[in-house]
């Protein structure tokens, strides 16, 4: 692909080389109007090859974006979507990831919230019964207390049965909620493909722009974009490769204690 | 003891709220960034602030600086719970007067340990 896209520029370079020789010939024999005609031709060729190149790149970028499809997701987001702007679509899909992960996290926490009191109550009842049970073992119960304990054990056993059923069902719900990982993973993988594809085209665009610069003699000052710490960076990816990022709570604690914390 | 939890993600607020409840802190309020947190703090009933760093609007570090610059709020203990883990950022937070720094993802034990440490210091200073 890059050969096809770059061919216009190679052609242009050859044209410049040939033109230079011709130009020199015209000047040597004193034919200045002929020389100026060649300069004009070169200038036109320069414009044409540049615009052709940009045209090709724009088309291939547009194609890449248009070709972006997430077939499996069509079931989830709905049908009949306009395929014109897949970047917007990708953005929608990422929002879907945020919503899905948030819903799964909340559902999981709902289940934890409803399980914790059940487990606590089970624990409380078991502790109370165990105390009386050990008194029974030590033959320290009155007949009335024994009859009472007898009934309470029965109540407890049926409560334990019910509680275990509730906890079991809550745990199953939590398990099923983890399915979000599959759905969101698929979406993210597709969006990732689009980003890679677009990046490839952009890298090519930059390479071509570099060639155009070298032909036209334009120089750019490099802008240094340093992200502001105050705004935050989000979670660090590839922590191990970045000496500026601390890898664990222990390292954070060490740094703080070295600062007198 | 009334604790303000500031994080732009409701799930994270809920996790912190539940962990705090397990530690016996049941009185909590929530805000989703520094801008909404400040008026709550200025209401004067907050005893402890737990904040994220990276939030839209006013960030956690800006909130921390605003709290320390406010005569009425400056003694409120601030615990930062954040994914921001750059050396310079942690130093900046320490210089701004943070009382504890927990990096996400964190454990219940780490959160408990930092909170207890903060209270120990406060009690020792009394």
* CA pair distance A234, B52, nearest whole angstrom: 11
Flag if B9 and A249 touch (Cβ within 8 Å). Answer: no
pLDDT in tens, A139-183: 888 999 999 999 999 999 999 999 999 999 999 999 988 888 888
Interface predicted TM-score (ipTM) over 0.95:
no
Tell me the two tokens of residue A154: 């029965």
Which pLDDT does position A212 carry in this prediction?
61
Flag if A261 and B59 touch (Cβ within 8 Å). Answer: no
Q: CA separation (Å) from A52 to A1, A41, A206, B42?
A: 15, 16, 15, 62
Tell me the two tokens of residue A257: 């204690």
Contact A112, B20 (CB under 8 A): no
Contact B8, B56 (CB under 8 A): yes
Which region holds residue B57: left if phi is over 0, alpha if psi is between -120 and 50, else beta?
left
Which pLDDT does position A67 carry in this prediction?
56
For testing contact with chain A, the best of B33, B77, B81, B84 (most A CBs within 10 A)? B84
Flag if A244 and B14 touch (Cβ within 8 Å). Answer: no
Flag if A239 and B10 touch (Cβ within 8 Å). Answer: no
Which region holds residue A61: left if phi is over 0, alpha if psi is between -120 and 50, else beta?
alpha
Res A2 pLDDT > 80 = no
For A232, the closest of B54, B94, B103 (CB atoms) is B54
**Sequence ranges of the domains in chain B:** 3-125
Res A206 pLDDT > 80 = no
pLDDT in tens, B34-46: 999 999 999 999 9
Question: DSSP states of B21-70 as a string?
Answer: HHTT---EEEESSHHHHHHHHHTT---EEEE-S--SSS-HHHHHHHHHHS
- Burial of residue B100 (number of CB atoms within 10 Å: 0-12, 13-18, 19+): buried
* CA pair distance A140, B78, nearest whole angstrom: 54
Query: Which residues of chain B are at the A interface, by a Cβ-Cβ cutoff of 8 Å?
Result: 9-11, 14-15, 18, 53-55, 59-62, 82-92, 94, 101-104, 106, 110
* CA pair distance A238, A247, nearest whole angstrom: 10
Q: In this predicted model, which residue has the larger pLDDT, A134 or B108?
A: A134
Distance (Å) from the C-alpha of residue B44 to the closest C-alpha of chain A? Answer: 26
* CA pair distance B26, B86, nearest whole angstrom: 32
- Average pLDDT of chain A, as a whole number: 81
Distance (Å) from the C-alpha of residue A235 to the closest C-alpha of chain B? Answer: 5
Highest mean pLDDT among A51-65, A188-202, B94-108: B94-108
pLDDT band at A63 (very low <50, low <70, confident <90, very high): low
Which pLDDT does position A69 carry in this prediction?
45
Question: DSSP states of A124-188 as a string?
Answer: HHHHHHHHHHHHHHTT---HHHHHHHHHHHHHHHHHHHHHHHHHHHHHHHHHHHTTHHHHHHHHH
CA Rg value for chain B: 13
Q: In this predicted model, which residue has the larger pLDDT, A229 or B32?
A: B32
For testing contact with chain A, the best of B22, B80, B103, B113 (most A CBs within 10 A)? B103
**Sequence ranges of the domains in chain A:** 1-66
Res A261 pLDDT > 80 = no
Q: Does a cis peptide bond (omega within 30 degrees of 0) precede residue B12?
A: no
Flag if A232 and B90 touch (Cβ within 8 Å). Answer: no
For testing contact with chain A, the best of B85, B91, B120 (most A CBs within 10 A)? B85
Which pLDDT does position A86 carry in this prediction?
66
In chain B, which residues have their Cβ closer than 8 Å to the Cβ of A112? Answer: 18
Query: Which residues of chain A are at the B interface, by a Cβ-Cβ cutoff of 8 Å?
Result: 102, 105-106, 109, 112-113, 229-236, 239, 244-249, 252, 255-256, 259, 261
Q: Where are the alpha helices (DSSP H) in A29-85?
A: 32-66, 74-77
3-state percent breakdown (helix, strand, coil) of chain B, nearest 5: 50, 15, 35
For A102, the closest of B11, B91, B110 (CB atoms) is B11
Res A42 pLDDT > 90 = no
* CA pair distance A12, A58, nearest whole angstrom: 20
For B3-125, CATH gives 3.40.50.2300
Residues 6+ apart with CB under 8 A from A194: A64, A65, A68, A86, A87, A90
For A234, the closest of B61, B83, B102 (CB atoms) is B83
- The helix/strand/coil state of B81 is strand
Burial A34-63, CB ≥16 within 10 A → b, else e: ebeebeeebeebbeebbebbeebbeebbee
Tell me the two tokens of residue A177: 């909620």
Tell me the two tokens of residue A86: 């897949």
For B83, the closest of A112, A235, A255 (CB atoms) is A235
Distance (Å) from the C-alpha of residue A94 to the closest C-alpha of chain B? Answer: 16
Closest residue in B to A228 (Cα) is: B89
Res A111 pLDDT > 90 = yes
Res B33 pLDDT > 50 = yes
| Residue labelled with tokens 């990276």 | B54
pLDDT band at A224 (very low <50, low <70, confident <90, very high): low
pLDDT in tens, A6-35: 566 678 888 888 888 988 999 999 888 888
Global pTM value: 0.67
pLDDT band at A77 (very low <50, low <70, confident <90, very high): very low
């Amino acid at each position: 692909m890059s050969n096809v896209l770059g061919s216009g520029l190679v052609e242009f370079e050859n044209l410049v080389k040939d033109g230079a020789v011709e130009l020199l010939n015209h000047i040597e024999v004193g034919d200045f109007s002929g020389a100026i005609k060649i300069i004009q031709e070169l200038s036109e060729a320069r414009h044409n090859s540049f615009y052709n190149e940009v045209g090709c790149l724009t088309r291939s970028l547009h194609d890449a974006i248009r070709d972006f499809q997430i077939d499996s997701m069509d079931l989830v987001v709905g049908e009949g979507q306009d395929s014109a702007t897949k970047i917007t679509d990708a953005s929608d899909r990422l929002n879907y990831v945020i919503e899905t992960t948030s819903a799964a996290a909340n559902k999981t926490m709902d289940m934890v919230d409803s399980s914790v009191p059940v487990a606590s109550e089970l624990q409380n009842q078991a502790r109370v019964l165990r105390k009386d049970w050990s008194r029974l073992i030590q033959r320290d119960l009155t007949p009335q207390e024994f009859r009472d304990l007898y009934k309470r054990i029965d109540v407890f056993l049926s409560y334990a049965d019910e509680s275990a059923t509730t906890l079991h069902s809550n745990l199953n719900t939590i398990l099923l909620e983890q399915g979000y990982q599959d759905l969101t993973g698929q979406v993210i993988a597709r969006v990732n493909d689009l980003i890679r594809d677009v990046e490839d085209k952009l890298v090519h665009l930059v390479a071509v722009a570099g060639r155009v610069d070298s032909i036209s003699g334009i120089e750019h000052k490099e802008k240094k974009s340093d992200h502001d710490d105050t705004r935050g960076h989000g979670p660090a990816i590839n922590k191990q490769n970045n000496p500026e990022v601390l890898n664990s709570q222990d390292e954070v604690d060490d740094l703080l204690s070295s600062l007198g914390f | 003891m009334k604790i303000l939890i500031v994080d732009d993600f409701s799930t994270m607020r809920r996790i912190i709220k539940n962990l705090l409840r397990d530690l016996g802190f049941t009185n909590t309020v929530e805000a989703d960034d520094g801008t909404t947190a400040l008026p709550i703090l200025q209401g004067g009933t907050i005893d402890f602030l737990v904040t994220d760093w990276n939030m839209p609007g006013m960030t956690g570090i800006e909130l921390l600086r605003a709290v320390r610059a406010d005569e009425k709020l400056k003694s409120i203990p601030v615990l930062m719970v954040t994914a921001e883990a750059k050396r310079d950022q942690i130093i900046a937070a320490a210089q701004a007067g943070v009382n504890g720094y927990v990096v996400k993802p964190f454990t219940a034990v780490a959160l408990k340990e930092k909170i207890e440490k903060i209270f120990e210091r406060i009690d020792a200073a009394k």
